[in-house]
Structure 1
Amino acid sequence: MKLPINNWTKILLVTAFLAASVIGFMVKLPSGFRHIDKELHAAFYFLAAAFLNVLFAGRKISLHVLIFIFLFLFGIGVEYAQEYSNKLLHVKIHGRFDPEDVQSNLKGLIAFSIVWLVYIVLLFMYNKAIVKQAVSKSE
């Protein structure tokens, strides 16, 4: 599916959401949400993958893989940034590097990739059936 937005709008959207995400991940989670931290990580990365795939990848597997890698590395980078910010600022604005958060990020990315792959396969099968039907009607 191709969205009717130009590339500059896409870049602006991604930049705004990237900045908001970095800020959101750098501040401490409100206490009411701390018990579902891992689920929030998985949900965020699932939705981020969906957002970027709809904007850029469509049905292109190479772009889907690049988005997956970018988001995975982004998640690791944010975890290191949280750890580093505590040392740099000498104030604990967030927790520490948490490998479980990285695992949750990966779970969200894998979950989206499964949904995306099922969609792509079903779309391929549907298109193939339509072509076959059109060929049989023209004969």
Structure 2
Amino acid sequence: MQAMSRIAIVAAAVAAAATLSGCAATPRETAAREARQARSAAELDQRLAGFTAGKPTTCLPNRNARRSDYFGDTIIYEVSGNLLYRTDTSGGCSLRNDDILVTRSTIGQLCRGDIAHTVDRASRFPTGSCALGEFTPYRKTRS
């Protein structure tokens, strides 16, 4: 009886180790993730070039944002050609996969801490969620 218990414990430990090792990123996956992050950071810098950051605010009225762009875990809301708002999410939204960002608001504003969900464009299956951060305004720099 004790031998069966020991075998069961060893089998469970082997299964747990196999599961954990399956979750570890390979060097190739790590390099690909770092390359995506660097590319997103460069694209974000390019998008914000010529703009100056202002004082962050906790909410952004929904009616103000006419479009949004995603750069890794950062969302840029365009209000006009002269005004953008940046929010850094908590991660977890699969924004890089051409998913649809879904936000819901009962007060007509997006606010820090609101939960956004992502949905697969084709299947409409949920793919992730993340919390929105503060909204930092960026105004076009006058030359």
Shorter-chain TM-score bucket reads under 0.3
Which structure has the larger Rg over C-alpha atoms? 2
Higher strand proportion? 2
Higher helix proportion? 1
What TM-score, normalized by structure 2, do the two folds share?
0.22
What TM-score, normalized by structure 1, do the two folds share?
0.22
